[in-house]
Chains A and B, each alone.
Chain A
Amino acid sequence: MAEEKFVDNPDTALTVNDDDIDAAIAKYPFLVVDCWAEWCGPCKMLGPIIESLAGKLQGEIVFAKLDVESNPQTSSKYGIRSIPNLLVFKNGQKVGDIVGAMPEDKLMERINGFK
């Protein structure tokens, strides 16, 4: 199942969960995981921006979404205390996180800072 889900160079944001996030971190050299929840208004504003970036940066950066409500292990493992929260992974390691909603150009700037 994991092989099917984690295709090479996806052009949309993938969905990850507590069970398969590690497989995604291992597979993609540059992965950004958008941790969100249904109850969070700002998360809903960030969602379309993440989709847009997933298309624009295809082949360069992989984006994924994780619903914190149904995946408490990931929230606790990475000490998430505020959403939206983007976890940035490079070569299998967490290199940083970006907290809060922001416009696409600003978010792109922040993500580029991790390159």
Chain B
Amino acid sequence: MYDTIIIGSGPAGLTAGIYASRANMKTLMIASAFNPSLITTTDMVENYPGFPDGITGFELIDLFTKQAKKFGLEIVEKDVSTVTKTAEGWEVSAGGETYRSLALIIATGTEYAHLNVPGEEELTGRGVSYCATCDGPFYRDSRVVVVGGGDTAVQEALFLTRFASEVIIIHRRDRLRATAILQERASAHEKIRFEWNAVVEKITGDTAVKGIVLQDVNDPDRKKTLEVEGVFVFTGYIPNTSFLKGIVDLDDVGYIRVDENMSTSAPGVFACGDCTKKLLRQVVTACGDGATAAFAAEQYISDLKGTSYGSWNKP
């Protein structure tokens, strides 16, 4: 029986792991065996304090993991199928194993939303991609599109200019949602151009992407065909919370509702990071949430056991 089980191994989960392990809680992290944290696919994190030159998402997670392991965090790589309430606490089934704990910390993050248009599924891996850092180098001297207008879309478009001859950003509005500095860089970039007020109607190609058909959002009869070899989709996120339906309170989209202490509607279940309903989903906010969740879980367990793990308010 663990004190706490952390599900998810991104910035929120690993920070919770650092805090919980350092407070001598018996802690297990269940990291997905095949769905790494989205931050690991991010080419450059420039707004996490302490790294003035920026750091790749992959390296950052590697450092977080080392730090958590230093304090004794136990990590298994399994995919969670169910979470069940028991008389004593919680039971987690993952990859054929069952783990038990008094408290749970959910830090499962999000995955990229799909466009759900004809051609997308059939051509995934054949020109349709959700990971510019993985697939960008296969598009040397090619013409590609990036669908979306947020930070991720613009950041990935800038990354793709290293390889592609032309990067076209397709956005459903007439201006970007991305942060000002990224907007400026994209607008100034000679390889980047924009298709505003446009959505992808379908992706064409037989064994590889040949092109896309765009639809004007203001005039659905107006179509435009572009010949492209790559379609990179960054239109939004879906929380990885389907296994929690009926266990904790979720909003309409599936984000977990938490209070200021990261408590969910289920006693002993805490949540942190991108999978929660919140305003800003960033590494730095995920870390803050993770620390709070670990502290709240520790208080909850101390109350259950009638013991204390010692002072938290010291460095």
Contact = CB atoms under 8 A, between A and B. Distances in A.
Pair from one complex: yes
Interface of A: 37, 39-43, 45-46, 68-69, 75, 79-83, 85, 97, 99-104, 106
Given A41-B58, A45-B36, A103-B95, A82 B133 contact: no
16 contacts: A40-B133, A40-B134, A41-B41, A41-B133, A42-B34, A42-B131, A79-B126, A79-B208, A81-B126, A81-B135, A81-B229, A82-B125, A82-B131, A83-B135, A103-B33, A103-B95
Given A81-B208, A81-B230, A82-B126, A42 B95 contact: no
**Among B127, B131, B134: residue with most chain A CB under 10 A:** B134
A14 B209 CA distance: 31
B95 A85 contact: no
Q: Is the interface of A mostly helix, strand, loop or mixed?
A: loop
A40 B207 CA distance: 23
Nearest to A102: B34
Nearest to A41: B40
Contacts of B40: 41
Interface residues of B, number: 25
Given A39-B134, A81-B129, A99-B125, 15 more contacts: A40-B133, A41-B41, A41-B58, A42-B41, A69-B137, A81-B138, A81-B139, A81-B229, A82-B126, A82-B131, A97-B125, A100-B124, A101-B34, A103-B33, A103-B34
B79 interface: yes
A100 B125 contact: yes
Given A99-B125, A100-B125, A39 B133 contact: yes
Interface in B92-134: 95, 124-127, 129, 131, 133-134
